[in-house]
């Protein structure tokens, strides 16, 4: 056996281990897009709550009026759905390109790993809204989203783990700065996704 | 240099790939293996049979929604054989760099 064959042989082993245990069809560009959706959503939320001309001199804006809450929840849900759809469609395209199935044992494991922390966080946030603890919602969703990314990261790019840890950190910080939840969302769901997307795109695509 | 570790069973690329998948995952089913390796049913089945005969893998047959579902797992013997084979490849490379 010559050296070329040997290296090929090891290449086969490596590629099979990786392709069978890691879901690599998540598109980096979709991360960038999802980040921009979050920024647009945050801008709309800001305009609704604070109006166009709002200075930083004092903070007496409240989200407790019922109309505003419904608007904000709907906005968040729309951004979430559009993001999921974008992520899914671009993953399907990438899967086709690299010859991986989108629904395989690894993507199943990835989904199951994410779903428990994600649904827990979502329900908890809804309960907080129902009980009137609005100040806890922003950090709850960031923390549980981070936990679900961290859980999912063993089945995909290792960068997802760092994204998850940073989301958790932002969620915890958000608790320390009540009233600035929207800005932490801009950082967590907007900027972090854009940065993550660029890194994955540059490195793997 | 010890080349007794080199395993003839893994000379076949399909078998080497099957074993790689089963090293990285606790278990894997037939249709997913087929998609991943991009081989025909017959080819895959024959190579799985060989690995089973060597007692490198075990087979679990069950039904999901009345459709047959066959899952494969590595055995301790298969794990050892695969590790040995890797060591043999490593030794071969080392020798060529001497």
Residue pLDDT, tens place only, A84-132: 999 999 999 998 888 778 888 889 999 999 999 999 999 999 999 889 8
pLDDT of residue B5: 84
Residue A139 near residue A181 (C-beta atoms within 8 A): yes
Kind and range of the H or E run holding B60: strand B57-64
Residue A31, number of CB atoms within 10 A of its CB: 26
The three-state secondary structure class of B20 is helix
Residue B33 near residue B44 (C-beta atoms within 8 A): yes
Residues B9, B28: Cα–Cα separation, whole Å: 20
pLDDT of residue B35: 87
List, for residues A102-115, the tens digit of each pLDDT value. 888 889 999 999 99
pLDDT of residue A63: 62
A142 exposed, middle or buried (CB, 10 Å; 0-12, 13-18, 19+)?
buried
Residues A198, A59: Cα–Cα separation, whole Å: 35
Structure tokens at B7: 């395993």
The three-state secondary structure class of B70 is strand
CATH of domain B8-96: 1.10.10.10
> Strand pairing partners for B73?
B58
pLDDT of residue A51: 74
The three-state secondary structure class of B61 is strand
Residue A23 near residue A156 (C-beta atoms within 8 A): yes
Contacts of B93 (CB under 8 A, 6+ apart): A3, A6
pLDDT of residue B92: 85
Among B11, B14, B32, which would you mutate to test the A interface (most chain A Cβ atoms within 10 Å of its Cβ)?
A: B32
List, for residues A171-194, the tens digit of each pLDDT value. 999 999 988 999 999 999 999 999
Indicate if the pLDDT at residue A153 is higher than 90.
Answer: yes
Chain A residues whose beta carbon lies within 8 Å of the beta carbon of residue B92: 1, 6
Closest chain B residue to A12, measured at CA: B17
pLDDT of residue A178: 86
Indicate if the pLDDT at residue A65 is higher than 80.
Answer: no
Indicate if the pLDDT at residue A55 is higher than 60.
Answer: no
Indicate if the pLDDT at residue B97 is higher than 80.
Answer: no
Structure tokens at B6: 């080199």
Structure tokens at A82: 């559009």
List, for residues A68-86, the tens digit of each pLDDT value. 888 888 999 999 999 999 9
Contacts of B41 (CB under 8 A, 6+ apart): B34
pLDDT of residue A67: 80
Q: In terms of residues, how long is chain A?
A: 205
Chain B residues whose beta carbon lies within 8 Å of the beta carbon of residue A17: 20-21, 23-24
The ipTM of this complex is: 0.83
In angstroms, the separation between the Cα of residue A5 and the nearest Cα of chain B is: 10
Structure tokens at A203: 């490195």
Give the distance from CA A39 to its chain's centroid: 13
What rounded mean pLDDT belongs to chain A? Answer: 89
Q: At what angle do helices B41-53 and B13-24 cross, to 10 degrees?
A: 70
Domain boundaries, chain B: 8-96
- Contact at CB, B89 and A21, closer than 8 angstroms: no
Chain B residues whose beta carbon lies within 8 Å of the beta carbon of residue A105: 25, 28-29, 32
Kind and range of the H or E run holding A3: helix A3-21
pLDDT of residue A56: 53
Domain boundaries, chain A: 26-204
Residues A63, A181: Cα–Cα separation, whole Å: 12
In angstroms, the separation between the Cα of residue A158 and the nearest Cα of chain B is: 16
Chain A residues whose beta carbon lies within 8 Å of the beta carbon of residue B20: 12-14, 16-17, 20
List, for residues B5-52, the tens digit of each pLDDT value. 888 999 899 999 999 999 999 999 999 899 889 899 999 999 999 999
pLDDT of residue B41: 94
pLDDT of residue B74: 96
List, for residues A19-44, the tens digit of each pLDDT value. 888 998 899 999 999 999 999 999 99
- Contact at CB, A9 and B96, closer than 8 angstroms: no
Indicate if the pLDDT at residue A64 is higher than 90.
Answer: no
Residues B51, B56: Cα–Cα separation, whole Å: 5
Nearest CA among A75, A99, A91, A97 for reference residue A185? A75
């Amino acid at each position: 056996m010559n050296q070329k064959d040997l290296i090929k042989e090891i290449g086969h082993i490596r590629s099979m281990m990786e392709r069978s245990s890691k879901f690599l069809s998540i598109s980096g560009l979709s991360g960038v897009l999802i980040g921009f959706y979050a920024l647009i959503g945050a801008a709309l939320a800001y305009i609704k709550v604070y109006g166009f001309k709002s200075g930083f001199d004092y903070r007496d804006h409240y989200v407790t009026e019922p109309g505003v809450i419904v608007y904000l929840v709907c906005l968040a849900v729309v951004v979430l759905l559009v993001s999921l759809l974008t992520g899914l469609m671009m993953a399907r395209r990438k899967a086709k390109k690299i010859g991986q199935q989108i629904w395989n044992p690894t993507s199943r494991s990835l989904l199951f790993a994410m779903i428990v922390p994600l649904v827990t966080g979502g329900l908890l946030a809804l309960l907080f809204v129902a009980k009137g603890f609005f100040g806890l919602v922003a950090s709850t969703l960031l923390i549980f989203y981070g936990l679900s990314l961290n859980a999912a990261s063993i089945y995909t790019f290792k960068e997802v783990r760092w994204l998850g840890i940073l989301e958790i950190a932002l969620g915890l910080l958000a608790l320390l700065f009540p009233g600035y939840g929207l800005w932490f969302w801009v950082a967590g769901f907007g900027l972090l996704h854009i940065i993550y997307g660029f890194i994955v795109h540059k490195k793997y695509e | 240099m010890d080349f007794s570790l080199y395993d003839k069973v893994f000379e076949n690329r399909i078998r080497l790939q099957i074993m790689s998948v089963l090293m990285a995952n606790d278990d894997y089913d037939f249709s997913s293996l087929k998609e991943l390796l991009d081989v025909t049913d017959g080819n895959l089945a024959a190579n799985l049979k060989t690995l089973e005969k060597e007692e490198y893998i075990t087979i679990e047959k069950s039904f999901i929604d009345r459709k047959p579902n066959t899952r494969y797992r590595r055995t301790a013997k298969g794990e050892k054989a695969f590790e040995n084979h890797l060591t043999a490849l490593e030794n071969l490379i080392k020798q060529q760099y001497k």
